[in-house]
Amino acid sequence: MTGRLAINRLRDRAPLDGTAVDRFLTRHGSPIIEGERATFLWRGEADAAQVRHRVVGLPDPLPMKRLPETDLWAVTTVLPGGSRVEYQVEIRRGHLHEQFNDPLNPRLAHSPLGSSSVCASLGYQVPEWVRFDPEARPGTLVEQSLRSKALRREQRFHVYLPARFNRALRYPLLVVHDGTDYLNFAAMKTVLDNLIHRLDVDPLVAVFVPPGDRLREYPNHAPHARFIARELVPHLLERLPLVDSPEARCLMGSSFGGIASLSTAVRYPGFFGSLLLQSASLVFTDIGFEHGGGPAFDPVVKFVNRYRSRPTAVVDRIYQSCGVYEPLITPNRSMVPVFRQTGMQVRYIEARDGHNWENWRDRLGDGLSWLFPGPQKFVYE
């Protein structure tokens, strides 16, 4: 886009009054996207205002400046095409700080930690297969539970059965870590319904498993791996018409759930045929022990360091994705050649996004269609 930024044209108008600001906000809203520039706005009385975000490479916070003789605050930054950023506004009045979603922006993203405002640059679009399609026959979700000896508790989970489920057929199996969050924040049932309806993904059975103590059980926890491989999968094989071969079994997860998927596959090599890793917490150290992630990452780093020292092929294929705006981009990039040198086939995708559920949602179409190609495109042994 050529020409001066809208906020600069407003700034040059004199005198400014509330009516002019009203008209400007009605016309442009917030944020204003102009080429590779994004202008964030907030209106109100405060001693300071700023934009908070988690984009690696941008200063955090981004301090906003008040337009003279108005109550409008603004800051402009570079945002490359195809980018998607989650953010909030923070203001200070005296010693009091307040952080909240952008009141000028109706677009929100949700997560277990709450909601955030969303800024999408030119070129970003929500994939069409994310939205509800009335023509797509819906699969069913069935809540079940299993008494786990490994975990010493009752473990609840949801089983997804595809539309037209037929017990005379055999289906591949997808095991999803952080399963409840994938259903609630990544629209994964709708995604599966749509992808299967469009013949992009083979009809499959998916089991959505929520964690117990996530920070303890997900980073290379032997009881968790034993539950998945020796209790959950056999339990499902007994009750559902599943293809009983590694090629038809996939483990997936994001962040710590990615570590849970990889470490389970490492503990039971050859039992699963594929992994779908999204922004996996593949933190490691080349020298020393300082990794900067805090005590929760100690078992993660120990596991990844050990795997990097002696990498082995634990599955046939890995779909791996990460956002370029998150701190985990460097370790994820670094692990791609480590995985490939073992002979595992790796499809690695980066997105101009961060460590969040909509980033992981948007990669599901590419990942699932690669691992579970539509009918007649892939034969399970």
Q: What is the DSSP string of 78-94?
A: E--TT-EEEEEEEEEET
Residues of the chain with CATH 2.60.40.10: 6-120
**What are the distances in angstroms from CA 291 to CA 120, 256, 279, 321?**
32, 16, 17, 22
**pLDDT of 376 above 60:** no
**What are the distances in angstroms from CA 38 to CA 9, 57, 187, 358?**
15, 15, 28, 20
Place of tokens 């008494």: 147
Residues of the chain with CATH 3.40.50.1820: 128-371
Q: How confident is the model at residue 286 (pLDDT cuts 50, 70, 90)?
A: confident
For 43, counting Cβ atoms within 10 Å of its Cβ (0-12 exposed, 13-18 middle, 19+ buried), the class is buried
Rounded distance, CA 151 to CA 153, Å?
Answer: 6
Q: How confident is the model at residue 295 (pLDDT cuts 50, 70, 90)?
A: confident
Of 276 and 12, the one with more pLDDT: 276
Structure tokens belonging to residue 87: 């953010």
Task: State the pLDDT at residue 380.
Answer: 56
Mean pLDDT over 325-350 rounds to 97
Q: How confident is the model at residue 4 (pLDDT cuts 50, 70, 90)?
A: confident
* CA angle (261, 264, 265) in 5-degree steps: 85
Structure tokens belonging to residue 307: 């795997």
pLDDT, mean over the chain: 95
Q: Cα torsion at 172, 186, 55, 117 (round to 10°)?
A: 170
Query: What does DSSP say about strands 249-254 and 274-278: parallel, antiparallel, or unpaired?
Result: parallel
The reply to whether omega before 80 is within 30° of 0 (cis) is: no
CATH (one of 3.40.50.1820, 3.40.50.2300, 3.40.50.11260, 3.30.70.20) for 128-371: 3.40.50.1820
The reply to whether omega before 63 is within 30° of 0 (cis) is: no
**What are the distances in angstroms from CA 73 to CA 70, 195, 215?**
8, 43, 40
Helical segments of the chain, H only: 6-12, 18-28, 179-185, 188-197, 214-217, 222-226, 233-239, 256-267, 298-309, 329-341, 357-362, 364-371
**What are the distances in angstroms from CA 65 to CA 42, 60, 68?**
10, 15, 9
CATH 3.40.50.300 assigned to 6-120: no
**Residues shown for the chain:** 381
Task: State the pLDDT at residue 195.
Answer: 98
Q: Given its phi and psi angles, is residue 265 left (phi above 0), alpha (psi -120 to 50 degrees) or beta?
A: alpha
For 55, counting Cβ atoms within 10 Å of its Cβ (0-12 exposed, 13-18 middle, 19+ buried), the class is buried
Phi and psi dihedrals of 70, rounded to 5? -135, 175
Task: State the pLDDT at residue 348.
Answer: 98
**pLDDT of 259 above 50:** yes
For 163, counting Cβ atoms within 10 Å of its Cβ (0-12 exposed, 13-18 middle, 19+ buried), the class is middle
Mean pLDDT over 145-149 rounds to 97
Cβ–Cβ under 8 Å, residues 225 and 148: no
**What are the distances in angstroms from CA 57 to CA 5, 53, 60, 94, 295?**
22, 11, 9, 29, 25
Rounded distance, CA 322 to CA 301, Å?
Answer: 18
Task: State the pLDDT at residue 377.
Answer: 54
The 10s digit of each residue's pLDDT in 77-125 is 999 999 999 999 999 999 999 999 999 999 999 999 999 999 999 999 9
* CA angle (280, 284, 290) in 5-degree steps: 130
Q: Cα torsion at 111, 284, 82, 78 (round to 10°)?
A: 100
Task: State the pLDDT at residue 302.
Answer: 94
Cβ–Cβ under 8 Å, residues 108 and 101: yes
The 10s digit of each residue's pLDDT in 213-249 is 999 999 999 999 999 999 999 999 999 999 999 999 9
Q: How confident is the model at residue 288 (pLDDT cuts 50, 70, 90)?
A: low
Q: How confident is the model at residue 1 (pLDDT cuts 50, 70, 90)?
A: very low
Say which range, 15-19, 100-104, 341-345, has the weakest mean pLDDT. Answer: 15-19
